[in-house]
A and B are shown apart, each in its own frame.
Chain A
Amino acid sequence: MHALVQGVILGVLTGGVYALMASGQTLIFGIMKVVNLAQGAMVIMGAYLAYQLFVSFGLDPFLAIPITTVVMFGLGVAVQLLFLRPLRRDDKSELSLLVTFAVALLLEGIMSVTWSTTYRSINTSYANSSWTVLGYQITAVRVWAFALSLLALGLLFLLLNRTRFGRAVRATVQNPESARLLGIESDRVAALGFGLGAATAAAAGSVYGLLYPFYSGSHYDLISRLLSIVVLGGLGSVGGAVVAGVIVATSSAVVAATVSPAWSEMTFFAVLILVLLVRPQGLFGTVGRGAI
């Protein structure tokens, strides 16, 4: 029972970070109908940027986020303009999958060359401090990470619901053609949306770097988790991604705590298969539009 509760606490706290990563992923899908296989690589890129700022200037990874998000936003816009926009429209969804996979490989290669392939971790002064509440151990970093993820998700929510740009994004997600008819420049929304997805990856990357050691190949571990989360939440639904992130991370942490860490990876796939069997459109997805 103790292990179970400990697993739930850990899972919920980790779930916040996954929710942040997955929200960018699902946003990109919602706007462009592109499954971004480079999302994991962009998270790791964000982690490396935070790592470098920490090592070179002693900048705290949480404080580095404004810088890394801006850099990654630019990178995301560049990827969209250079590689995704030129694709022809008729087989775009197939090609875009492969193109984003190629972008993931490209980022992996660049990271391997720049930072070599040994594991790195960001060792802040508070990295090992923790509290004990009612006999359960809660590490400080995870709490901060959770709080920051909530903050970032809150900002994203405000951006999507309270600004002109956000309204344009939501309109494009709902119905791209009508949005275009109403004068929304879909190309610009797509570029900025991809940038926004990359920016959330950067914020999540800072946090990821604090929580786990990482290397350039770590994005392979991330991508299947992110994809399961996005499918469970319903492709294109940011709220769904948040809920699904917490659900999936919690169940995986519970399996790790009660069964074995080796099998926790399997929970992602099990969740995915269950979703497809029971509710293929995901928790908050809609039928008849997009992928399914």
Chain B
Amino acid sequence: MSRAGVARGGGFFLLLLALPFFGLAHWVVNLLVFVLMFAIMASAWNLVGGFAGYPSLGHAAFFGIGAYSMALMFHGAALSSGYEPFVALPLIGLVGAVIGWPIAIISMRTRADVFAIVTITFLFMIQTLAFNVRSLTGGSQGLSLPVAPFPAASYERPFYLVLVAMLAVAMLLTFGAMRSKIGLSLVAVRADEDKARGIGVRVSGVKVLAFSVSVGLTAMVGGVWAYYETFIYPQFAVDPLITIAVVLMTFLGGRATLWGPVLGAVILEAGQQTLAYRLGGSQFYLIAYALVFLVIMLLLPRGILPTLEERIRLRRRARVANAPDTPGAARTADAGRVALAPGGRS
């Protein structure tokens, strides 16, 4: 990692850790909790949808699986310190990953379009199950969790800090993937899967691995969410809008980038809460959301960060090209040298 990158990451997380101690209002911390949840899920989705180019529309199912696992584990239990559910989180991540494993093996036999179809159908199936397997999920009446015995003044803080830690894990995983052979393999899958397989990339392995890790993280967020809400209903725990929000955030910030999903989550979740607040529970909210969605897809299909990066690169190149006083011949000679550069720049 470059020194600037370390500084950026360290600074970002120090700021995140310090934020709740500034005495922010409850609604601000509450908003931050949701921003973090979506930032983690978007980063997780990015592993599959961004790097490997497999647009999963079923991640909300794993969010729901995590939420229900947490609810089933602690339904009716008495908490002493209130940190027990957080300790159980890795287990919930494992549950998500284990359920995701066969789904990935079956659905990743297909390419982007059909993969999206399979995952979205899986989402609706889990939703149906959540409604219908009453003995386990309580059906449409939902399930309750014990209320955390945290002091009211700083009730959100433990959730917030746990989520910050999870975001760090998600971003480190992303960073690790970007720097390792796994990340390269995923990008190769995205670019041309058949060629990648042809030259010996272990295509199936990395795809399934990325999917399992991704849905495991998503399930963990679902677990935290369930504990935070203390009451879960099937229509909110398994909600197609969660999938869509996560996908949209990743697209807005920039797919296959480290910071893109986080940036997208900050912008969209804040915007979404404002929209929901302004337009209330009315259905105009859905229209506004869909329009924002369409505008982003049409105007910024590559996302903010890649677009900005290209702008900066183009400007830099223009500056370099304009710097020498002698235009014309000199510049074309330069261009020739640049084109040869990979062979023998030194």
Contacts and interface: CB of A to CB of B under 8 A. Distances in A.
A and B bound?
A: yes
A95 interface: yes
B42 to A, nearest CB: 14
A106 B112 contact: no
A269 B53 contact: no
Given A101-B244, A113-B283, A262 B114 contact: no
A105 B286 contact: yes
Q: Which applies to chain A's interface (DSSP): helix, strand, loop or mixed? A: helix
Contacts of B287: 106, 109-110, 113
A33 B113 contact: yes
Given A109-B284, A273-B106, A292-B111, A35 B297 contact: no
Contacts of A138: none
Contact of B251 (A29, A83, A98): A98
Contacts of B248: 98
B283 A109 contact: yes
B117 A105 contact: no
A97 B115 CA distance: 11
B125 interface: yes
Interface stretch (A70-78, A173-181, A222-230): A222-230
Contact of B109 (A87, A91, A276): A276
A269 B117 CA distance: 11
B290 interface: yes
A272 B301 CA distance: 31
A137 interface: no
B113 A88 contact: no
A228 B121 contact: yes
Interface residues of B, number: 43
B301 A106 contact: no
A83 B298 CA distance: 7
B112 A280 contact: no
A291 interface: yes
B114 A292 contact: yes
A262 B285 CA distance: 31
Contacts of B240: 220
A231 B107 CA distance: 12
Contacts of A227: 117, 120-121
B225 interface: no
B274 interface: no
A103 B53 CA distance: 22
B118 interface: yes
Interface in B99-142: 106-107, 109-114, 116-118, 120-125, 128-129, 132
A227 B251 CA distance: 24
Nearest to A92: B301
Interface string A55-98: 00000000000000000000000000001001110010111011
Which 4 A-B pairs have CB atoms at the shortest separation, nearest pair first? Answer: A109-B286, A112-B283, A109-B287, A106-B290
23 contacts: A35-B113, A83-B294, A87-B297, A87-B301, A88-B301, A98-B244, A98-B251, A98-B293, A105-B293, A106-B287, A108-B290, A109-B286, A109-B289, A113-B287, A224-B124, A224-B125, A265-B124, A265-B125, A268-B121, A276-B114, A277-B106, A291-B114, A292-B111
Interface of B: 53, 55, 57, 106-107, 109-114, 116-118, 120-125, 128-129, 132, 240, 244, 247-248, 251, 282-291, 293-294, 297-298, 301
Given A103-B290, A265-B125, A276-B114, 12 more contacts: A88-B301, A98-B251, A103-B294, A109-B283, A110-B287, A112-B283, A224-B123, A230-B117, A235-B113, A272-B117, A276-B109, A280-B110
